[in-house]
Amino acid sequence: MSDVVSSRYFHRASPPHISTLILLAGLAALSMNIFLPSLPIMSEYFETDYRVMQLSVGAYLGCSAFLQLFIGPISDKLGRRPVLLWGLALFIVATLGCITAPNVEIFLVFRMAQAVIATAMVLSRAVIRDLYDDDRAASMIGYVTMGMSVVPMVGPAIGGFLQEIFGWTANFWMLVLLAALAYWITWSDLGETKARSGKTLIGQFREYPELLVSPRFWGYTLTSALSSGIFFAYLGGAPFVGSEIYGLESKYLGLVISAPAVGYMAGNYLSGALSSRFGINRMVFTGSCISGSAPLLSLLLDISGRGSVLTFFGPMVLVGLGNGMVIPNATAGALSVRPHLAGTASGLSGALMIGIGAALSAFAGTLLSQETGATPLLVLMLVCGLLGIATIAYVIRRAHKIQA
């Protein structure tokens, strides 16, 4: 099981086809952002404040982070395949609950339950780490997330148009259909890539300290979390900036919100093509600098009085470009610290990344008003970028000292 590219489709005895992993990771990403252009309309439908409706992003991310603490150890114990199939089935049920919710409270409950799709994100990475080592894993994760990035890139745009034609529930019906397709393909194509550990679940959790005491694990994980935190803060504030400050309609808002995904696809391509050649540390540092430059550029234009839709959303392509370089490489670095705990490491690093992202997303939503404009959001994003650069610089410096 060494070459995913040569795997046979719908043949569980061979490695899963790369498109299966892309679909799983893409579905998890799509569930996060397809309905973002509908948030203002949904707040009217449920007769609630926009900030309450915005919890469907922050609370979802928080639940996703919590679940990822368990997904990794459970999959290390039981295997990747059964956990993936159960996660997809429960996601379908939760999405149907969102569609039929009679009020915003019940909607938010089912929306949080949708976070179970984090199994697809966590385990698509863990499957790759089961099959590959270090830099090669970074390349493969880069290729998978490059393909996956097409989904969130077009997701808000599709969501905006679906809402214009059929209403906001159409976004969730689309998720139901895609999840059903993913279940069938996973059942048919993805065999087990991880032998059961034979340990109890408590025994699996007792191995967390192996990761928690590793400076390398923390360095890669925090760098990934802070770099992606720029995007999550953007995710929490961009719908408000676009609709309330710049007055964009849903269909246009969906298009401009997708700006980071354009860069993300390019960044993941670079990770797939260059990580094996240049190494993960150099790729992570370069990507962190690129991500941090975006809010700096937009902020400088904003405080100079030249803020506009173009100067706010345009530089966000660089956020995606940098994240496309940082996340695959930092993830591979975190998973390589203890290869026998790849599932646990994927879950824990993902939980920290999404947990920090959830906090930043919710916080970003509280900072904005008509009076403040986009400035507070851009400052928050810039702080995340600078901290991410400092963290990976520490990892590189520590590695040089160890080698000296």
Structure tokens at 301: 């234009």
Q: Which of 380, 342, 60 is nearest to 226 (CA)?
A: 380
Sign of CA dihedral 255, 258, 259, 263: negative
Give 132's DSSP letter: -
Structure tokens at 398: 């520590």
Q: Which of 119-133, 142-156, 209-223, 238-252 has the lowest mean pLDDT?
A: 142-156
Percent of the chain with pLDDT over 70: 85
Q: Which of 179, 180, 176 is nearest to 162 (CA)?
A: 176
The yes-or-no verdict on residue 13 having pLDDT over 60 is: no
The yes-or-no verdict on residue 49 having pLDDT over 70 is: yes
Mean of the pLDDT values across residues 130-158? Answer: 67
Rounded CA separation 79/193 (Å): 7
Select the more confidently predicted residue: 137 or 259. 259
Residues 6 or more apart in contact with residue 353 via CB below 8 angstroms:
65, 221, 224, 225, 228
Rounded CA separation 224/285 (Å): 11
Per-residue pLDDT reduced to its tens digit, 166-222: 888 999 999 999 999 999 998 888 877 666 656 666 766 676 677 777 888 889 989
The yes-or-no verdict on residue 56 having pLDDT over 90 is: no
Packed helices 134-166 and 316-336: angle between N→C axes, nearest 10 degrees: 140
pLDDT of residue 135: 59
Residues 6 or more apart in contact with residue 261 via CB below 8 angstroms:
149, 150, 152, 153, 154, 155, 320
DSSP for 196-263, written as a single string? -----HHHHHTTHHHHHT-HHHHHHHHHHHHHHHHHHHHHHHHHHIIIIIS---HHHHHHHHTHHHHH
Split at pLDDT 50, 70, 90, the class of 246 is confident
Mean of the pLDDT values across residues 361-388? Answer: 86
The yes-or-no verdict on residue 1 having pLDDT over 50 is: no
Rounded CA separation 270/268 (Å): 5
Q: 346 near 122, Cβ under 8 Å? A: yes
Distances (CA, A) of 167 to 33, 41, 162, 230: 16, 9, 7, 30
Split at pLDDT 50, 70, 90, the class of 137 is low
The single residue listed with the structure tokens 């019940």 is: 106
pLDDT of residue 383: 95
Q: 239 near 42, Cβ under 8 Å? A: no
Per-residue pLDDT reduced to its tens digit, 276-311: 788 888 999 999 999 999 999 999 998 888 888 889
Give me the chain's average pLDDT, please.
81
First to last CA, the chain: 37
Grouping H, G, I as helix, E, B as strand and the rest as coil, residue 15 is: coil
Rounded CA separation 234/97 (Å): 27
Q: What is the CATH number of domain 18-403?
A: 1.20.1250.20
Rounded CA separation 340/130 (Å): 9
pLDDT of residue 36: 79
Split at pLDDT 50, 70, 90, the class of 393 is very high
Select the more confidently predicted residue: 371 or 313. 313
Q: Which of 119-133, 311-325, 382-396 has the lowest mean pLDDT?
A: 119-133
Q: 88 near 183, Cβ under 8 Å? A: yes
Show me where the domains of the chain are located.
18-403
Residue 325, Cβ neighbours under 10 Å: how many?
Answer: 33
Split at pLDDT 50, 70, 90, the class of 404 is very low
Per-residue pLDDT reduced to its tens digit, 16-28: 777 788 888 888 8
Residue 310, Cβ neighbours under 10 Å: how many?
Answer: 13
Mean of the pLDDT values across residues 244-257? Answer: 79
The yes-or-no verdict on residue 357 having pLDDT over 80 is: no
Counted residue by residue, the chain has a size of: 404
Rounded CA separation 222/353 (Å): 7
Structure tokens at 333: 């670095």
Per-residue pLDDT reduced to its tens digit, 76-119: 777 888 899 999 999 999 999 999 999 999 999 999 999 999 88
The yes-or-no verdict on residue 226 having pLDDT over 80 is: yes
The yes-or-no verdict on residue 9 having pLDDT over 80 is: no
